[in-house]
Structure 1
Amino acid sequence: MKAFYALGRLQTGEMNKTEQAYAEHLDQRRMAGDIQWFKFEPMKLRLADNTFYSPDFIVLTSDGYLESHEVKGFWQDDARVKIKVAASIYPFRFIAVKVKAKKHGGGWEVEEF
């Protein structure tokens, strides 16, 4: 039996718990000087007619590069396709992060596209 997930349950601009935890992580990195700035859901990237990708975070690195960070608890097929297409079109570094279980050391598992 296929699992069903509630989509769109949060208002635009409202973070879920995993995104809140990642925002705290980014803020710690900002205070440490690893990054200069970050913003939650600041833009939509057009992939095709009536098809958009909204990165969870845009991050400005300490050396002046923009990165798109996607926070995932799990992947749905369309989300993985969208980030791959966006990475092929736009000049950002695209990164997906997933929470690592505490029994596996905690922190964030990082995948680059």
Structure 2
Amino acid sequence: MQALGRLKTGQMNKSEKAYSDHLFLQQVAGEVAWYKFEGVKLRLADNTFYTPDFAVMLADGQMQMHEVKGFWQDDARAKIKIAADMYPFQFIAVTKKSKKAGGGWNREEF
């Protein structure tokens, strides 16, 4: 399965927009202090970078990198694992649960 095309840098797809709305509600509730879509670019090697979908600062100051996925491609999973080994952030991948499954988000931590 291949994506039909990647959106321009800085433009959210439907899942990313829904997750942005989720982060906004967490910010209003006082759980998240700040978040930014594609706000951080991490160098993994020469000419190899990883840009998490969201950089998130929790209310306690902890920094997290959140990745929103509909499905995983091998290179994306490899990049998030490499980044998690190299950088002192918590890396979290989320996928949207179906309405039939109660909605919300599945989380995977790296």
In the alignment, the residues of structure 2 paired with residue 69 and residue 101 of structure 1 have an alpha-carbon distance, to the nearest angstrom, of: 19
Q: Letter of the aligned partner of 2:51 in structure 1? A: S
In the alignment, the residues of structure 1 paired with residue 39 and residue 58 of structure 2 have an alpha-carbon distance, to the nearest angstrom, of: 16
In the alignment, the residues of structure 2 paired with residue 47 and residue 7 of structure 1 have an alpha-carbon distance, to the nearest angstrom, of: 24
After superposition, give the CA deviation of every residue in 1:30-86 in whole Å (9 maximum; x if it has no partner).
000011000000121000111110000000001101000000000000000000000
SS at match of 2:80: helix
Partner of 2:54: 57
Partner of 2:69: 72
Matched positions, count: 110
In the alignment, the residues of structure 2 paired with residue 83 and residue 11 of structure 1 have an alpha-carbon distance, to the nearest angstrom, of: 21
Q: TM-score scaled to structure 1, two decimals?
A: 0.94
Partner of 1:6: 4
Partner of 1:85: 82
In the alignment, the residues of structure 2 paired with residue 92 and residue 4 of structure 1 have an alpha-carbon distance, to the nearest angstrom, of: 29
Pairing 1:93-108 to 2, within 5 Å after superposition: 93-108=90-105
Q: TM-score scaled to structure 2, two decimals?
A: 0.97
Q: Letter of the aligned partner of 1:4 in structure 2? A: Q
In the alignment, the residues of structure 1 paired with residue 29 and residue 48 of structure 2 have an alpha-carbon distance, to the nearest angstrom, of: 37
SS at match of 1:96: strand
Q: 1:110 aligns with which of 83, 103, 107?
A: 107
- Mark the runs of 5 or more structure 1 residues left unpaired by the alignment: none
After superposition, give the CA deviation of every residue in 1:15-36 in whole Å (9 maximum; x if it has no partner).
0000000000000000000110
Percent identity of the aligned residues? 61
- Mark the runs of 5 or more structure 2 residues left unpaired by the alignment: none
Q: Alignment RMSD, CA only?
A: 0.8
